[in-house]
Amino acid sequence: MENNYPVFTKEMVKDYTILIPSMLDTHMILFSRVLQNCGYKCKVLDNFDGVCEVGLRYVHNDTCYPATLVIGQFIDALNKMKDTSKVALILTQTGGGCRASNYIHLLRKALIKANYGHVPVISLSMQGLEKSGFKITFSMVQKLAAALLYGDLIMYLHNKTRSSEVHKGETKQLVNRLCQELADKLEHGFGITKRNLRKNFKYIIDEFSKIELDGIPKIKVGIVGEIYVKYASLGNNNLEEFLVSQGAEVNVPGLLGFMDYNFYVNLFDKELYGGSKLKNLIFKWLIKFVDKREAIMIDELKKSKFEPMNPFSHTVNLNEGILSHGVKMGEGFLLTAEMVELIQEGYENIVCAQPFGCLPNHICGKGVMKNIKEHYPNSNIVAIDYDPSATKVNQENRIKLMLAIAKENLNAKNK
């Protein structure tokens, strides 16, 4: 026990199953298989019904909405298990000024209250905030980076095709098949080298290129926001599916940008405040490591019929004139930069998804909307709060109003 909490030890690796909260469907399948390849038993949670109500029993309703959902999903899953003696939970921890830095402690308090105080919690952090038997190795980083890139590419092409597919359901079937094929490769340690990455990127793109599209112009909608409600269908009430049902083509910036952003702000801190030279070199190496692999993915997209996404080196400077790089709590300036990037790519209709009361998102999202509108008069941005008390009907009605304006603008362009 450390600080009266159970610690996940190296002896537990063999027998314990690690529960992973859901966030990105495609990515989580790949991430979990990487962990299995590294010797960890794990399971991505898929329980959604009633988890918010469970979370509210153990977390104060003023706490960040993602914490309520994640903690509720964990406890709901434990409630449904016959034996919890060999189960551990894993949760990322940023270590920054965001309330997400407190999720680990909130989860542990909730577990004690729910009579699961014996269940160890693994803090997954690049900053090594806590010691445990769960070890991040170079091999794991390589495999997780490959999984992240595959997940980003599949998500990107899924959104590029599913609104226009002639044969309904074909795109989703392809996504499921590709996830299983790539997960099998990653579990056996394949698909990690730059040569194999290029080969698999080409294969993914070629498979999506076979999907027959109707060619009908669609309303283009981008999604930005707090990392959890931006990606998790549980957190945003199936926002992507709703937009697709309304005839929109969706674009959700990939997870790689957020990872690069976290590396970059550490370098920026070094410039402003000084710090460890070794730490600085590590983050520079990490940025170079992922950027080289991102470049391969973009290069393969350039050879296809699909418009490639921009590299992070382009995105990182798009907030200039609107918000400083020094604004780095939560998603910080990246949120602003992603909105500008989406507008420049033709996705001028944007849903900014944010937990109610999330100060970083209100500043970097809602707070810059007027300024962005001055730079880009055709931008059509709506900020949607997600909270236990917010109703899905009200959220969707506000989005429908944004879509009505978007449809008018599209019709005007096509005249």
pLDDT score of 164 more than 90 = yes
Least confident among 48-57, 185-194, 308-317: 185-194
Specify if 146 maps to a domain. Answer: no
* Residue 362 banded pLDDT, cuts 50, 70, 90: confident
With respect to residue 214, please indicate whether it lies within any of the assigned structural domains.
no
The answer to whether position 274 is within a domain reads: no
CATH number at residue 106: 3.40.50
Is the pLDDT at 187 greater than 60? The verdict is: yes
pLDDT, averaged across the chain: 91
Those residues with Cβ within 8 angstroms of residue 61's Cβ, 6 or more apart along the chain or in another chain: 68, 388, 389
| pLDDT digit string, tens, across residues 6-41 | 999 999 999 999 999 999 988 999 999 999 989 999
Structure confidence at residue 276 (pLDDT): 78
Q: Which tens digits make up the pLDDT trace of 40-94? A: 999 999 999 999 999 999 988 778 899 999 999 999 999 999 999 999 999 887 6
Rounded mean pLDDT of 296-325? Answer: 94
Element (H, E) at 53: helix 51-58
In a domain, 333, yes or no: yes
Q: How far is the C-alpha of 382 from the C-alpha of 415, rounded, in Å?
A: 26
Task: Based on the fold, state whether residues 25 and 124 are members of the same structural domain.
Answer: yes
Q: What is the dihedral of CA 399, 405, 407, 411, to 10 degrees?
A: -170
Q: What's the Cα-to-Cα distance from 176 to each of 30, 156, 163, 169, 397, rounded to whole Å?
A: 11, 14, 17, 11, 31
Residue 16 lies in a domain: yes
Q: Which residues pair with 121 in a beta bridge?
A: 89
- Predicted confidence band of residue 357 (pLDDT cuts 50, 70, 90): confident
Q: What pLDDT score does 326 carry?
A: 84
Q: What pLDDT score does 1 carry?
A: 44
Note whether residue 192 is domain-resident.
Answer: no
Residues 113 and 223 in one domain: no
Please name which of 270, 272, 292, 273 lies closest in space to residue 282, comparing C-alpha atoms: 270
Beta bridge partners of 5: 2
In angstroms, rounded to a whole number, what is the distance separating the alpha carbons of residues 362 and 370? 13
| pLDDT surpassing 80 at residue 238 | yes
Tally of structural domains, the chain: 2
- Of 74, 105, 135, the residue at which a domain comes to its end is 135
- CA–CA distance, 202 with 242 (Å, rounded to integer): 30
| Percent of the chain whose pLDDT exceeds 90 | 70
* Domain stop point among 135, 162, 193: 135
Contact 44, 28 (CB under 8 A): yes
Q: What is the pLDDT of residue 97?
A: 66
pLDDT (0 to 100) of residue 75: 97
The answer on 96 and 228 residing in a single domain is no
Domain identity same for 92 and 224: no
- Both 225 and 371 in a single domain? yes
In a domain, 102, yes or no: yes
Q: What is the mean pLDDT of residues 368-376?
A: 93
- Lowest-confidence pick of 102-116, 329-343, 350-364, 365-379: 350-364
Which of the listed residues 135, 167, 190 is the one where a domain comes to its end?
A: 135
Which residues, listed in sequence order, are joined to residue 220 by a DSSP beta bridge? 249
Residue 120 sits in the same domain as residue 226: no
pLDDT, one tens digit per residue, over 84-136 is 999 999 988 766 666 667 788 899 999 999 999 999 999 887 655 567 889 88
Q: How far apart are CA 257 and CA 264, in angstroms?
A: 10
User: Whole domain around residue 359: which residue ranges?
Assistant: 219-254+309-414
pLDDT at residue number 102:
77
One domain, residues 241 and 348: yes
pLDDT digits (tens, 9 = 90+) for 265-309: 888 777 777 777 888 898 899 999 999 999 999 999 999 999 999
Same domain, 355 and 244: yes
In this structure, are 229 and 130 located in the same domain? no
Residue 112 makes CB contacts below 8 A (sequence gap 6+) with: none
Evaluate whether residue 178 is within a structural domain: no
For 173, the token pair is 């079937």
Q: In the prediction, which pLDDT does 328 show?
A: 84
On whether both 120 and 225 belong to a single domain, the answer is no
Is the domain of 228 the same as that of 371? yes
pLDDT, tens digit (0-9, with 9 covering 90-100), for 338-347? 999 999 999 9
Same structural domain, 233 and 373: yes
